[in-house]
Structures are given as structure tokens and as C-alpha cells.
A and B are shown apart, each in its own frame.
Chain A
């Protein structure tokens, strides 16, 4: 190339550089506050979702809302329902009316009083079927407010899980604020809770500050809570180890050793009410026979998956985990018996030859790839060849919802048996094709009895039948592992994967 007689080139280079530099400098940096005793920074690999408590189902939202809002009742650390904004309650003999006596003198962050009208406003919103949590309230008729501190929730049919449905995320909103601010009133996040909402920078952080006027004494000790979503496991752990976080949620089991060797960090393991299971397509071989379904139960070595891969948790037997109403302690996880599996398969008439479609959601659960690959190899050893596809999440929900599988893997987290059994078994939302009217009736009974003992009995009976012939192969209960810096004391983690900083402090 012939040389050109101009000094443009250097100028251009400088111009390019200057433009880049100006571009970088001209944009404002966001300063972040330094660590202090009054501020706690925590992280989970999940983003805070939409602002409307009635329209989401995300555990981070539940957790943060629990600090900003109050609910009528709460679960304590042992899983028992205890009063919160409702001091006492009773249910009518026909089960159609729940009367709640409300706490007096509670104010919202903007000064609005908490009254029965707030309860009415909050609950009657759920009639809008577009809201994600409206399915818990399909039997709601209306809420009567005989006086300021009594709310009567009326339903068209008895609702067994009523109290379970009233814990988080069913937070109480101010009716006055709702009227004043219109349909997007929830965006202001005004509640009655011990913390006030400060700011939400999407994907970056969610900040809350202590509400000094909270009704519950003693007040929490931590003045400011910052939540930072960090998706990448290694990064989140690094932030914990470097001191940038006080608590990191969802620690992968293999990293536990690394944390334990650090004397400033402790590891908290909580057996969660979250179990992983395989869903079977019951209208196609080999799972269209009871023998086929039992075969796959025997073919899986749950113990070694729990010990070697998950390094925590325990094998599961049925849909209701220990600690939740309806738990059946007589049902034990299927033992690992590949020979029995083979003989059952033979009885089912399965000769092999074709591959079973095994779908899994990518990234939803830790170690999903390892678990499914191991299961696939165990199934193959027992005579069931599978074609494993770890699909992108949305594609997975599509395939699962359409019944486009032989086997799928999914988890289920809940604090009331109705939440999973009604939808996944009685309504068969995943199109497994499993039908057993007796089981359906038992589930319906559980949903419509307000007598909690009766509910428990119904669920236990249902599980006994499902154990023999159900469409779900229960794998194991998962452990939630938290990494906590030792100077954060009083951190509470509930079994339904929500944590609580209201009693915590930095020492």
C-alpha cells in the first residue's frame, strides 16, 4: 500500500481513544456503601422478580417481602402456624367462614392504619385469575368486615389449606394506599413489616431499612439489608469468602469443604421441604403398568446419589416431606434392587429396543446434569434405555406441559400437601395420564376439610396408594446449604427455603 501524505491516522487513533474514554468517563458510577456493623449483604442465585406479591412465586420475593410486609399468620422455625397480624382465629362448623381477630394499633409504613378493610382489599384482589397466586383462592367468596379488627373470610367450599395460604406471600396491603395509587399501588412496596423498602436496582441490589415503628418488639438489630443476586455459583462463593457477603444461599455441596476450612465462615444445612422426583408417562409402555412403574423405583440407587453426588439430603418415598402435615412415616424409600427391577420389567412386558424420552430442565436444580446422567446409566443397567435431553427451561415446561415425554425430572417445594397434589395429581397438569378416582377423592377431601387431622389422614391414605402405583418416582429430599460469616448471628432459615434476618445481628 502506498503511503499517504496525511497525519490523519494518528489523529483518528486519538479520536477513537478519546471517544472511548469520554464514553466511559461520562457515564456515572454507582457508588456502593462500605461494609459496616449495621448493614448485612446477602445473596441468592435468583433475581427479585415482579413487585406485586400476589403475582409471583419466587422464593427471593417471598423472603424479602417477609421483611417488608406482615401476613395474618406465620410459620415458625418448626413449621407450626403462629399468629402475626391475626391474633386469633376460628373456623365456622360448616367450614365456609374463617373469622380472624386482628392486632390493633398496627400502621403501614406510610401511616395508614391496618384494619379489616386492608384484609378485604388484599384478599379480594386474588379473584383476578391473571395473578399468579390466584389459584389458591379459587374458592374465595368475599371478606366481611363487621368491625375494624375482625375479618371474616367466606368461601364457597371449605378450604382446608386456608392458613397455609395465608402465610407469605399473602402479605397485607393497605386499602387506603390501594385506592389512592390505583392499579399499580403495589410498586411502592408499602407494608407493615419491620423493614422499609429503600430501592431496587434491577439485577443489582434490593435494599431495605429498619422500620423503627414496627409493632413487634424487640426490633430487629440490623439497620440495613442489601440483597444482591449473583447467579454464578463460583462468584457468589468468592464474594462470601472475600467478605463482600455475609450470607450466600445455595452453596454447591462440593464447595462445603472449602468453606469449612475458612475459620470465618460457617455452613448451615437445612433439610428443605423440597424433593426431586421423576414423573412418568402412564399411558405409554413401560409405565402404563404398575409393574413398570415399580420397576423404575427399584432401578434407582437413591442412597448413592444422595451420598456421592448431592452429598446431603436423604432419599424420599412420597410426596409429603417430613415436617409437613400429612407426612407418612410408614412409607420408606424404595430399596435399590436392579434385579427386581428387571424381573418387574419382564412382567410388564417391556422388551426394550426403544429409547425412553427423558427430559430435564437445565439449571433449575443444582447438579441436575449429574443426577440425570447417573439415573440414565442406572436405568440402562436395568434394561431401560433412555435418551436424555437437558432442555432449556422454557422448552422443558412446554414439553412437560404437553405430556411430551416418557420421564421428566422436577422438584416440588411446598408447605402444604394441597399445593402439589391438587394440581399435579388430581388435575394432572403434566399430562401423565395417571387416573385413580380413589386417590383423586382423597386429595379433594384434603383440600376441602378444615379439620387438619382429617386432612392428614386423607393425604396419608392417598400416599399409600401412590406408593404402589403412582406416576411419581420420589428420588430425594434436598438440603439447602447456606454459607454464613461467623459474625452474622441469629440467621434463621426455614425449611421452605425462605430465610429470616429479623432476629439477626452482626457481632
Chain B
């Protein structure tokens, strides 16, 4: 894993840089992924202008309106949901909130997890033991219990939802980063740096951190999608966002009762969710291809 160049140094070589960029563009996946995500982000940012209808206005005369093209449909392109709201508009507005939830939660758990993983892997022994046992405790507590308690005490709102999701997700980062750091610890350049008298913090910052950055990003990109799905699961159990806020997760959960009669209510948000996660995964793969193709995580 250790090449001839020191991983801490950025790739200075101009030729190298060109090759990197070309590798990215050659990967069809990474390109597709980033384009799709760009589209989603645009939706999130400009939801108000893009969306054709009001995502919140209840219109019970349009309940379960069929999508355009299906018999009986027409007014709404993707149909109306169980309260007559335009599914397409709700999906567009939902992009904003779902992405917010996913990214914030992934960032929160990522920061927590990478930090703890670094400490555990680098300092080892007691610190490692304590952190790993904390991880055990964390994993042994049902997410639902945490969700109900936190949401119940602090109120069911977006911020608390992100908090819950973020707190439950740190372990996978911590464990993986810890593993990476443990292996790195034994390598030559760290020993050399130590021998040269570099302090712990400097070693962590310059030599270890850049190496964990890559797996962290890869895990993080996966976790964003995972967090959005988890939000959907919490919505299924009634612990998600409050009505009438549209999130993809809540739309899928609330519309599941109509799978047999009006499948468009769950299916369209579901497809968008799937495509987004796919895109995130492709982007993650692409990122990994550029950053370190030999790093397989």
C-alpha cells in the first residue's frame, strides 16, 4: 500500500494531475453519478422555482390522482398523492430536505467516527479499548429506542432527526479508520517520523489523516444514501419528519398503503431515491478511482 511517494504529499506532478482528471472522465459511472447528483442539488436549491405546484397545499378533490398518461390522469405529471398534492413537486422539494438530512447526518457521524477511530487506532491500548467498548454499547442500543427517547424529549423536528441519525452511525467509520490506522502505524514512514522526533499531533495530521481521508470519503458517500433510507424507516415507524414536510422517506412510508391501488405515490419517490443512492455510489466509486485506485473499500 505504500508506494514510492509519500501519501501525505499532494500529487504535484502536472502530468499526474492530467491523468487523474482523465481517469475521472473516463469512468462513465463517475460522470453519470456527478451529473445526476448535480441535477438533484439543483432541485434542492431551486425547488421553489422548479416545482410546478405547491407541495404542501392539500387538495382533497385530487386525491390519488393518476399520473399523466394513465387513464384518469393529466393534471399532475407524476400524479397526486393521498392528499391531492403534486407528487413531482413534493419530490423536488423533498430533494432539499432528504439531502439535508442525509448529508448532515453523514457528516455528523463521519466526524465523530473518524475522530474516534483515529484516536483508537493511533493511541491503542486503553484508549482503543474504551472506544471500542463505547462502540459496542452504541451498537447494542436499538436505534428506535434512541429515536423515540430523543425525539420525545426534544421534540419531533428535523434537527433532532439529524441528531439521532448522526449519533447512530459513527461506529462504521470508527472501526474502519481504526483498522487502517493500526496497519499504518507499523509502516516505515511513521516510525521514521517518530524517530525524527515529530510529535503525535503532527504525525496524525500530516501522515495518518490524509490516508484515512479516502476511506472516510468512500464510506461517507455510501452513508449519505444509507441515512436517507434510515429516515424512511423512521418515517415508517412514525418517527420521521412532521407533516406536511415532504421527504422522500416519508413519502414512501406514507404511500405504502396504496401500493395496490395507486402505486405511483410510493414508487416515484422510491425510484428517485434509488437513483440518487446509485448516483452517490457511482460518484464514490469514481472518487476512489481517482484518489487511490488500489484502495478497495
Q: Which residues on A are within 8 Å of B, measured CB to CB?
A: 1, 233-234, 237, 252, 254-255, 257-258, 304-305, 308-309, 362-363, 369-370, 372-374, 376-377, 388-392, 394-395
> Are A395 and B152 interface neighbours, CB within 8 A?
yes
Apart from the given pairs A258-B261, A374-B58, A392-B148, 14 other A-B contacts in the complex at a CB distance below 8 Å: A1-B1, A234-B260, A237-B260, A254-B257, A255-B261, A257-B261, A308-B60, A309-B63, A372-B243, A373-B58, A377-B57, A388-B244, A390-B156, A390-B242
Min Cβ gap A377→B in Å is 4
By Cβ-Cβ distance, the 9 closest A-B pairs, closest first, are A362-B238, A308-B60, A377-B58, A395-B152, A373-B243, A258-B260, A374-B58, A254-B261, A233-B257
Residue of A with least CB distance to B254: A369
Shortest Cβ distance from B81 into A: residue: A370
Q: How far is the CA of A391 from the CA of B239 in the complex (A)?
A: 8
Contact A309 B60 (CB under 8 A): yes
Question: Which residues between 16 and 68 of chain B lie within 8 Å of chain A, taking CB atoms?
Answer: 57-58, 60-61, 63-64
Measured in the bound complex, the distance between the Cα atoms of B148 and A394 in whole Å is: 10
A305 touches B60 (CB 8 A): yes
A256 and chain B: residue at smallest CB distance: B261
Question: B83 on the interface (CB 8 Å rule)?
Answer: yes
Interface residues of B in 120-154 (CB under 8 A from A): 148, 151-152
For the complex, give the distance between the alpha carbons of A227 and B64 in Å.
33
Residues of A close to B155: CB separation below 8 A: 389
* In the complex, chain A residues whose CB is within 8 Å of the CB of B239: 392
Distance (whole angstroms) from the CB of B85 to the closest CB of chain A: 10
CB of B82 within 8 Å of the partner chain: yes
Do residues B151 and A392 form an inter-chain contact, with CB atoms below 8 A? yes
Asked if B256 is at the interface of the complex by the 8 Å CB criterion, the answer is yes
Name the residue on A nearest B242 (C-beta).
A389
Docked Cα-Cα span, A223 to B243, in Å, equals: 47
Q: List 27 A-B contacts (CB under 8 A).
A: A1-B1, A234-B260, A237-B260, A254-B64, A254-B258, A254-B262, A258-B260, A304-B60, A304-B61, A305-B60, A308-B60, A308-B61, A309-B63, A362-B238, A369-B254, A370-B83, A373-B243, A374-B58, A374-B60, A376-B244, A388-B243, A389-B155, A390-B242, A390-B243, A391-B156, A392-B152, A392-B156
Residues of A within 8 A of B238 (CB): 362-363, 390, 392
Instruction: Classify the interface of chain A: helix, strand, loop or mixed.
Output: helix
> Does B259 interact with chain A (Cβ within 8 Å)?
yes
Specify which of B60, B242, B256 is in contact with A234 (CB 8 Å cutoff): B256
* Structural contact, A369 and B243, CB atoms closer than 8 A: yes
Q: Which residues of B contact A257 (CB under 8 A)?
A: 261
Name B250-288 residues within 8 Å CB distance of A: 254, 256-262
In the bound complex, residues from chain B placing their C-beta under 8 Å from that of A376 are 244
B57 touches A388 (CB 8 A): no
Residues of B in contact with A (beta carbons under 8 Å apart): 1, 57-58, 60-61, 63-64, 82-83, 148, 151-152, 155-156, 238-239, 242-244, 254, 256-262
- Minimum distance in angstroms from B292 CB to a CB of chain A: 15
Bound state CA distance, A372 and B152, in angstroms?
A: 20
With both beta carbons as reference points, the residue of chain B lying nearest to A311 in the complex is identified as B63
Instruction: Give Cα distance in the complex from A370 to B265, angstroms.
Output: 14
**B259 CB contacts on chain A under 8 angstroms:** 234
Distance in angstroms from A392 CB to nearest chain B CB is: 6
Most buried by A among B57, B152, B244, B257: B257
Contacts of B156 in A (CB 8 A): 389-392
The distance in angstroms between the C-alpha atoms of A1 and B296, with both chains bound, is 12
Distance between Cα atoms of A149 and B57 in the complex (Å): 65
For B82, give its contact among A1, A255, A362, A370 (CB under 8 Å): A370
Q: With a CB–CB cut-off of 8 A, which chain A residues contact B60?
A: 304-305, 308-309, 374
- The answer to whether A252 touches B257, judged by C-beta atoms less than 8 angstroms apart, is yes
Query: For residue B151, which residues in chain A have a CB less than 8 angstroms away from its CB?
Result: 392
Knowing A362-B238, A377-B58, A395-B152, say if A255 contacts B260 (CB, 8 Å).
yes
For the complex, what is the distance from the CA of A173 to the CA of B176, rounded to whole Å? 61
- Tell me which of B64, B152, B155, B243 has the highest count of chain A C-beta atoms within 10 A of its own C-beta: B243
Contact A374–B83 (Cβ < 8 Å)? yes
Cross-chain contact B257 with A234 (CB below 8 angstroms): yes
Q: A252–B64 Cα gap in the complex (Å)?
A: 14
Residue from B60, B63, B156, B261 having most chain A Cβ neighbours under 10 A: B60
Q: CA A395 – CA B156 in complex, angstroms?
A: 11
**How long is the Cα–Cα vector from A376 to B245 in the complex, in angstroms?**
13
Q: Which residues of B contact A258 (CB under 8 A)?
A: 260-261
CA of A258 to CA of B262, assembled, Å: 11
Task: List residues of chain B with CB within 8 A of the CB of A1.
Answer: 1
Task: Identify the closest chain A residue to B84 (Cβ).
Answer: A308
Query: Bound complex: CA of A309 vs CA of B64, how far in Å?
Result: 10
Note all chain B residues with C-beta closer than 8 A to A309: 60, 63
Chain B residues with CB under 8 A of A237 = 260
Contacts of A391 on B, CB cut-off 8 Å? 156
In the assembly, what is the distance between CA of A389 and CA of B155, in Å? Answer: 9
**Bound state CA distance, A252 and B260, in angstroms?**
12
Contacts of A308 in B (CB 8 A): 60-61, 63
Query: Shortest beta-carbon distance, B257 to chain A, in Å?
Result: 5
Q: How far is the CB of B53 from chain A (nearest CB, A)?
A: 15
Chain A nearest CB from B48 CB (Å) reads 19
By CB atoms of chain B within 10 A, which of A234, A374, A392 has the most?
A: A392
How long is the Cα–Cα vector from A252 to B82 in the complex, in angstroms? Answer: 13
Q: Which of A233, A252, A373, A389 has the most CB of B within 10 A?
A: A373
A187 CA to B100 CA, complexed, in Å: 52
User: Which residues of B are found within 8 Å of A392, using beta-carbon distances?
Assistant: 148, 151-152, 156, 238-239
Chain A residue with the shortest CB-CB distance to B57:
A377
Point out the residues of chain A lying under 8 angstroms from B63, CB to CB: 308-309
Nearest neighbor of B258 in chain A, beta-carbon distance: A254
A439 vs B64: C-alpha distance when bound (angstroms): 44
In the bound complex, what is the Cα–Cα distance between A300 and B256 (angstroms)? 28
Report chain A residues within 8 Å CB of B243: 369, 372-373, 388, 390
B236's closest neighbor in chain A, by CB? A232
Residues of B within 8 A of A374 (CB): 58, 60, 83
Q: How far is the CB of A365 from chain B (nearest CB, A)?
A: 13
